[in-house]
Amino acid sequence: MRAILLGFAGRPGVVEKADRLRSVIERFATLVACDFAGQQDLAKVEADLAIVLGGDGSILRAAHQMGHNQIPVLAVNLGRLGFLANLSPEELPAALEELSAKGVAPRVVEHLMIDCRVLRQGNLVAEQLALNEVSVQTGPAYSMIDVDLYIDSEQVTTYSCDGLIIATPVGSTAHSLSAGGPILRKELQAVVISPISPHTLTNRPLVDSADRVYELAIAKADPGASVIVDGRVLSTLEPHDRVRVEKASVRFKMVESPPHSYYRTLREKLGWGGRFHLGHGSR
């Protein structure tokens, strides 16, 4: 089994934990690449498994690095919440042993990814795959922005708001949830559109099929207005720019750990059992 070992060295303890786990990993797999800077292009690396150490932010970074070469991810949670990264370091040896066993097919769950393109006078100026979300937000002094939403070329509405989020099911528990959006089960082929602090209270989150083409048109862009993909600025916006979002041709692939069901994760991470875990989005 060929594996890639990934993590974020900027997070305390990640490199030290990787050093301790490396000998365990190499009992079951051959490491063909290691990257703790988040800079290596993994689009052409041939591997069977990507082992990611860290929080959900580390998984987002790994998904971006892999681009259109999405390798199944086994995520080890070193963060706090870990909606995606829910395997503990102590559980890693057993998981690797099971994955390396002959005749045992791992359960790989594929998740929707979306493709974001920024168009200026019809020309492509920026493009990025997203696992969590695409958002349009204002910059300092953070005034409201008017965003026209089109779905399959039909105008839906104009949002007057602090920003607008288009989130995947995976991203529905991130920024969109904080903006009042619903939680979508991760296997769904749908997106949720959530306005941030809308001026009109009747502008509510909208769920629609991932098979549609979504466009956000900006008639007037204040300085600092930007398109943000998975927490990182993709491009600043100019008046009349269009942000086009549609289903990507690739899927994010996650190796599922049997003890960690979807609703168990929600129950534990969101405090549905009465206990709250603060600090969402750890990287």
- pLDDT of 280 reads 47
- 64 and 120: one domain? no
Whole-number Å distance between alpha carbons of 90 and 217: 48
- 118 and 239: one domain? yes
Contact 203, 161 (CB under 8 A): yes
Percent of the chain with pLDDT strictly greater than 70: 92
- 128 and 102: one domain? no
**Residue 279 is assigned to a structural domain of this protein:** no
The whole-chain average pLDDT of the chain stands at 88
How many CA atoms does the CB half-sphere of 281 hold within 13 Å? 12
- Classify the phi-psi angles of 202: left when phi > 0, otherwise alpha if psi is within -120 to 50, otherwise beta: alpha
**Residue 123 is assigned to a structural domain of this protein:** yes
Q: Which structural domain range is residue 83 located in?
A: 2-107+256-269
Higher pLDDT, 183 or 282: 183
- 146 and 230: one domain? yes
- 120 and 242: one domain? yes
Catalytic residue of the set 19, 35, 41, 56: 56
- 145 and 244: one domain? yes
- 239 and 172: one domain? yes
**Residue 64 is assigned to a structural domain of this protein:** yes
Whole-number Å distance between alpha carbons of 17 and 39: 20
Report the relative pairing of strands 2-7 and 49-54 from DSSP bridges.
Answer: parallel
Quote the number of domains for the chain: 2
Higher pLDDT, 277 or 250: 250
User: What is this structure's pTM?
Assistant: 0.89
Question: CA 92: distance to chain centroid?
Answer: 22
**Residue 282 is assigned to a structural domain of this protein:** no
**Residue 35 is assigned to a structural domain of this protein:** yes
**Residue 280 is assigned to a structural domain of this protein:** no
Whole-number Å distance between alpha carbons of 192 and 257: 26
- 92 and 143: one domain? no
> Tens digit of pLDDT for each residue in 113-172?
999 999 999 999 999 999 999 999 987 767 888 999 999 999 999 999 999 999 999 999
- 121 and 141: one domain? yes
> Tens digit of pLDDT for each residue in 65-122?
999 999 999 999 886 666 787 788 898 998 898 888 765 567 888 999 999 999 999 9
- 79 and 157: one domain? no
Q: What are the angstrom distances between the C-alpha of 244 and each of 21, 62, 114, 121, 226?
A: 42, 23, 10, 13, 14
CATH code of the domain containing 179: 2.60.200.30
Q: What are the angstrom distances between the C-alpha of 208 and each of 151, 166, 189?
A: 9, 10, 9
- 178 and 226: one domain? yes
Coarse DSSP helix, strand, coil percentages of the chain, rounded to the nearest 5 percent: 20, 40, 40
How many CA atoms does the CB half-sphere of 210 hold within 13 Å? 23
- 127 and 100: one domain? no
CATH code of the domain containing 80: 3.40.50.10330
- pLDDT of 9 reads 83
> Tens digit of pLDDT for each residue in 224-252?
889 999 999 999 999 999 999 999 999 99
- Classify the phi-psi angles of 142: left when phi > 0, otherwise alpha if psi is within -120 to 50, otherwise beta: left
**Residue 90 is assigned to a structural domain of this protein:** yes
**Residue 276 is assigned to a structural domain of this protein:** no
Which of 124-155 are b and which e, b meaning 16 or more Cβ less than 10 Å from the residue's Cβ?
ebbebbbbbbbbbbbbeeeebbebbbbbeeee
Q: Which one, of 244, 174, 166, lies nearest residue 207 by Cα?
A: 166
Query: Can 115 be counted among the known catalytic residues?
Result: no
Whole-number Å distance between alpha carbons of 192 and 195: 10
